[in-house]
Structure 1
Amino acid sequence: MTSKSLITINAALVLLALLLMLSGLGGGWGGAIAGFVFVVGGTFLASVSSQSADKVLGVLLKAPQAFDNAEQRRYRRRTLDSFLPVAEWARRGNARAAERLARQINDDFLRRGVMLVLDRTPEREMMRTLQWRIGNERENDQQEIRVIRAMVGYAPALGMLGTLLGLVQMLFGLGDKGINEIGVAMGFAMLTTVYGLIGANLLLKPLAAKMEQQSRARISWMYAQLEAVLMLRERSHPVHIQEALETYLDGSRDYPLPNLQDMAPRIRRLIQRTKAA
């Protein structure tokens, strides 16, 4: 389904919800369903007005991953297990075996860093490439978080808009319409506010906070991998590399963060040495 088709279907559902409310069809359930479709569909339409539909849909599809911390820890453990044999062969000077195993590393960032080391890429170029990847990943994460934070504002606004529309429809129907139509309009008015507040405060805000925490953990893991790549370039013993990353992994509970203060002087010395060269 294309983005244009998705937007068209969503707009049609919002219009259908309004027509259902205005016509008074469906009784109490009609107002409840119409209010839900109006708030959810309207929030999505407001989001795609500032971002592409593919971007918004991609963020929503990735949302469940923000709550799967156990899978993230297993992924990082597999990354470490696939990296250590590469470090062992590289230390022994067998670049061919190390390169063959490096292609099996599941993490793209670490695999790229290892290949730069094995290809004897100059230190300055290697650091520039990896730092750019980290910055790009951080920016992508922030863009996704901004989408959710924008939806936090849209949902209550659509709820209040639905409330106003429902109240206006109810007032218009006081003179010549039955109690059923007035009840649907009142239900629509009240429930849209409830849906907007619940969606913003119980769903979208916690999701944005969770995505922020996951982003910090992911960027921190990339810095830990950068440290591992630097140790690989210096041909450090795999045991030392394992100890460094094991400390990171074992100390990670919900949202692990490496000791960047210890890492920063090392990176600065490396950059200064490359500039001097």
Structure 2
Amino acid sequence: MDILSLLGLLVAFGAIIGGNFIEGGKVQSLLQLTAFIIVMGGTLGAVLLQTPLKVFMRSLKMLLWVFRPPAIDAERQIENIVEWCQLARKEGLLGLETLSEQLEEPFSRRGLQLLVDGREPESIRSIMEVELESLEEQAMHAAKVFEAAGGYSPTIGILGAVMGLIHVMENLADPSKLGEGIAVAFVATIYGVGSANLILLPIAGKLKSIIHAQGRVREMTIEGLTAIAEGENPRAIEAKLRGYLH
């Protein structure tokens, strides 16, 4: 569980609701179903129009990363690569075959399989870099779904505000309906700007940081696998890979 993500949401909404309360406002004044439907429905519709189905579904799966990010342990990966190197020096590259079949992480398993197949170092690097680029591109497209939503929601909020003001203008002769229209107008703007800057854009930023960290570890893995294929000794490989930790 990523405590900072949960804490960030609590602090952000607590500050806004608390500030509203200190100024004498009521929580009920911020709850407007009409404004919520306009902003959230409009934003979702715009995102669905822009996004292919596969990318949208991937973004929903990646949303879990905000609170439960995938394990990224560069130190442990360096230890793994050094162990692979030691095993390859003792038993040859074919000694890695059983190990590659037991690995759960697909990227490392793919690299070890290339080693076992006896590919040249540059061939391994080329194949793995293409795979890395593809994985990062897919993940970034999914993260940008939330970035796009964060761009649309403030504009949809303004649209909701205009609609509320239109409702007000249509009912100038009936003062009893003016309050509702004005409330929808202002609350829609709050929903649009708030959802973008407190939820959607921070989610996109968090996902991008996780993708970047994954990419660094995978780049390190490519470097380690290439070094094993070139016959470098374990200590030299470890020294080289530790540069990625900084």
For the criterion TM > 0.5, the same-fold answer is yes
- Asked if the contact 1:157–1:196 (Cα under 8 Å) also holds between the matched residues in 2, the reply is yes
Return the alpha-carbon distance in structure 2 between the equivalents of residues 155 and 33 of structure 1. 16
Identify the match of residue 113 of structure 2 among 87, 112, 115: 115
Asked if the contact 2:156–2:192 (Cα under 8 Å) also holds between the matched residues in 1, the reply is yes
8 Å contact kept, 1:39–1:159: yes
Aligned residue number for residue 72 of structure 1: 71
Question: CA RMSD of the aligned region, Å?
Answer: 2.7
Pick from 194, 213, 216 the counterpart of residue 217 of structure 1: 213
Instruction: Tell me: CA distance 1:174–1:196, structure 2 relative to 1, closer, same or farther (3 Å).
Output: same
Give the deviation of 1:78 after TM superposition. 4.7
Aligned to 1:48: 48
Q: Which amino acid aligns with 2:225?
A: V
- State the structure with bigger RCO (CA 8 A, min sep 6), 1 or 2: 2
What's the offset of the Cα at 1:68? 5.4
TM-score, normalising length from structure 2? 0.76
In 1, the alpha carbon distance for the partners of 2:122 and 2:154 equals 49
2:161 corresponds to which of 160, 163, 166? 163
Match of 2:34 in 1: 34
Query: What secondary structure sits across from 1:156 in the alignment?
Result: helix
Unaligned runs of 5+ in 1: 1-27, 252-277
From 199, 203, 207, the counterpart of 1:207: 203
Letter in 2 for 1:138: E
Query: TM-score, structure 1 length as denominator?
Result: 0.68
Counterpart CA distance in 2 for 1:125 and 1:29 is 63
* Structure 1 residue 136 corresponds to structure 2 residue 118: no
Give distance in 2, aligned partners of 1:122 and 1:204: 44
Q: 2:188 aligns with which of 178, 192, 196?
A: 192
State, as a whole percentage, how many aligned pairs show the same letter: 24
Query: Does the 8 A contact of 1:82 with 1:104 survive in 2?
Result: no
Structure-2 separation of matches of 1:106 and 1:239: 26
C-alpha contact 2:85 2:228 (8 A) present in aligned 1: yes
1:93-146 Cα deviation digits (max 9, x unpaired): 344432101222333222211211111124443232112112212322332243
- Which residue of structure 2 lines up, in the alignment, with residue 234 of structure 1? 230
Number of aligned residues = 219
Structure 2 gaps of 5+ residues are 1-27
Alpha carbons 2:121, 2:226 under 8 Å: kept: no
